[in-house]
Amino acid sequence: MEIEVVEGGEGEGRLYGGDAVGKEQTVWMSHGDEAARLPEGFRVVARSRQGTVAAIESPERRLYGLQYHPEVTHSTLGMETLQHFLFNVCGLSPGWKMEDVLEQEINVIKNLVEPNDHVICALSGGVDSTVAATLVHKAIGDRLHCIFVDNGLLRYKERERVMSTFESDLHLPVTCVDASDRFLSKLKGVTDPERKRKIIGGEFIAIFDDFAVELEHKLGRKPAFLVQGTLYPDVIESCPPPGSGRTHSHTIKSHHNVGGLPKDMKLKLIEPLKLLFKDEVRELGSILNVPQAFLKRHPFPGPGLAVRVLGDVTQGNALEITRQADEIFVQAIKDAGIYDSIWQAFAVFLPVLTVGVQGDQRTHSYVVGLRAITSEDGMTADWYKFQSEFLDNVSRKICNNVRGVNRVVLDITSKPPATVEWE
């Protein structure tokens, strides 16, 4: 949406600082909320071109309000607006560094975890949990016990690849647990995305509790904490910020490590990354000497392929179709040299049968969707513009090599209105 700084009658304010930011800008203002009446002592300092209040201020009380999101990349001058507010209006100095975050989180963990306490870390194979584990390992050393759960919802050869990385590159102490039958039996017949996420979150916690009991027998002391690689976007999408007092915020989707956690879980959480975005986590991981090849990995959702197989994940060979199509798609992206230009790319199984012709025979097979996005922080995203020749080759490879697929479609939806994952 286009907004303009108000001049004249209502009065230009400090929030935009005259020409410091600019008189016009495009902002992300996709919600339906609107300020119908101003609080006493406030004035409007920016409106949309349709007349909607976009920004207000009361300089005398040092209170300022925006009705849009300046922090996302879709707000073209959002960073300039925030910089002006922080450094010119508030008078702060730009002294914040990621090294400070690392030192602060290490101190928090050392003060939280008693000298004799042991901690479990849930490793998913993704960047977030790995950086969280490396950070906690730096804080408490060998009192950290990592667990990697094969829930039957992993990508093609993910278990073998991830365990090799943990052991050879990161040197983290990791126990691998095969719980695929356990997860898939609980998910059988479940089609609602929120139920899937909550079932998966509950099963993960149950497995971590079991692992804690095993460690208690081994160590003589039961671990009290669970480390998770929760990020700030997970918190935002799962629930209103803690202590915000907001009851009207919508849950976009319950991330299995936030909204999907059971209320009666026995382990206390350590979430050292919960106020960071993905790009900041990668910067933190670099400081912790996590290999760049690992830090550049595309994000993979905690619920795994459960949110990339629409409907019942146990239907037919849906998981295997998704794994094979995803592997072909991502490998083609790597071969084309564009992997690092894409935030996330994956295949989605659509429970839709369509008529096709393969090998001169009529087929009635499934549809695979392809999604690839670009983003800075995962809060907003645009779809990646592939060359048509690339898409043609990938579509042919999938249809020719993945049994049960005769049609490939491309998702060209940004976030918003869509989310990154389909479920």
Residues comprising the binding site? 124-130
Query: Is the separation of the CB atoms in 141 and 168 below 8 Å?
Result: no
Cβ pair 186, 199 in contact under 8 A: yes
Residue 110 CB contacts under 8 Å (≥ 6 apart), including other chains: 139, 140
* Distance from C-alpha of 330 to C-alpha of 325, rounded to nearest angstrom: 9
What the block records as the tokens of 364 is 């009635």
Contacts of 72 (CB under 8 A, 6+ apart): 28, 78, 377, 379, 380
Q: Are 273 and 287 in contact (CB under 8 A)?
A: no
For the beta sheet containing 24-26, the strands, ordered from the edge strand earlier in sequence to the opposite edge, are 24-26, 2-5, 43-48, 53-58, 63-66
User: How large is the C-alpha radius of gyration of the chain?
Assistant: 24
Distance CA 354, CA 364 (A): 5
Angle between helices 98-112 and 127-140 (to 10 degrees): 60
No. of H helices and E strands in the chain? 11, 14
Output the CA torsion sign for 166, 267, 262, 209: positive
Residues flagged as binding site for ATP: 124-130
Structure tokens at 56: 């207000």
DSSP string, 25-77: EE-B--S-----SPPTT-EEEEEETTS-EEEEEEGGGTEEEESSBTTSTTSTT
51: tokens are 């007349």
